[in-house]
Amino acid sequence: MTSLAISIVTHAPDLALLTQELDHLGRALRHASQRGALTEARVVLVDNGPGTGWRGPLRQGLDAAALPAATELLSGHGNVGYGAGHNLALRACDGEIHLLLNPDVLLEEDALGAGLAFLASHPEVGLVTPAAWGGDGQRQYLCKRYPTVLDLALRGFAPAGLRRRFQARLDRYELRDQTGDEVFWDPPIVSGCFMLCRRAALDQVGGFRPEYFLYFEDFDLSLRLGKVTHLAYVPQVRVIHRGGHAARKGLRHIGLFLRAATMFFDRYGWRWW
Give 230's pLDDT tier (boundaries 50, 70, 90): very high
Would you say the C-alpha torsion 32, 34, 39, 40 has a positive or negative sign?
A: positive
Residue type, 18: L
**pLDDT > 90: percent of the chain:** 95
**Residue 228 in this model has a pLDDT that exceeds 60:** yes
The whole-chain average pLDDT of the chain stands at: 96
Burial of 223 (0-12, 13-18, 19+ CB in 10 A): middle
At 246 the pLDDT is 55
Please compute the mean of the pLDDT values over residues 220-230 and round it to a whole number: 98
Mean pLDDT of 55-62: 97
What b/e sequence results for 21-44 when a residue is b if at least 16 CB atoms lie within 10 Å of its CB, and e otherwise? bbbbbbbbbbbbbeeebbeebbbb
The residues, ordered by sequence, that sit 6+ positions from 214 with a Cβ below 8 Å of its Cβ are: 81, 82, 253, 256, 257, 260
80, pLDDT greater than 80: yes
| pLDDT tens, position by position, 89-146 | 999 999 999 999 999 999 999 999 999 999 999 999 999 999 999 999 999 999 999 9
Torsion 86-89-91-97 (CA) sign: negative
pLDDT at residue 243 in the model: 72
Q: Which of 6-15, 121-130, 179-188, 238-247 has the lowest mean pLDDT?
A: 238-247
- Amino acid occupying residue 261: A
Q: What would the mean pLDDT of 45-53 be, rounded to a whole number?
A: 96
Top-level class of domain 2-134+184-242: alpha beta
pLDDT score recorded for residue 245: 57
Q: What single-letter amino acid sits at 105?
A: V
pLDDT at 250: 81
3-state DSSP of the chain:
CEEEEEEEEECCCCHHHHHHHHHHHHHHHHHHHHCCCEEEEEEEEEECCCCCCCHHHHHHHHHHHCCCCEEEEECCCCCCCHHHHHHHHHHHCCCCEEEEECCCEEECCCHHHHHHHHHHHCCCEEEEEEEEECCCCCEECCEECCCCHHHHHHHHHCCHHHHHHCHHHHHHHCCCCCCCCCCEECCCEECCCEEEEEHHHHHHHCCCCHHHCCCCHHHHHHHHHHCCCEEEEEEEEEEEECCCCHHHHCHHHHHHHHHHHHHHHHHHCCCCC
Pairing between strand 189-190 and 97-101? unpaired
pLDDT band at 248 (very low <50, low <70, confident <90, very high): low
Number of neighbours of residue 204 by Cβ within 10 angstroms: 15
Q: Which of 175, 173, 172, 192 is nearest to 184 (CA)?
A: 175
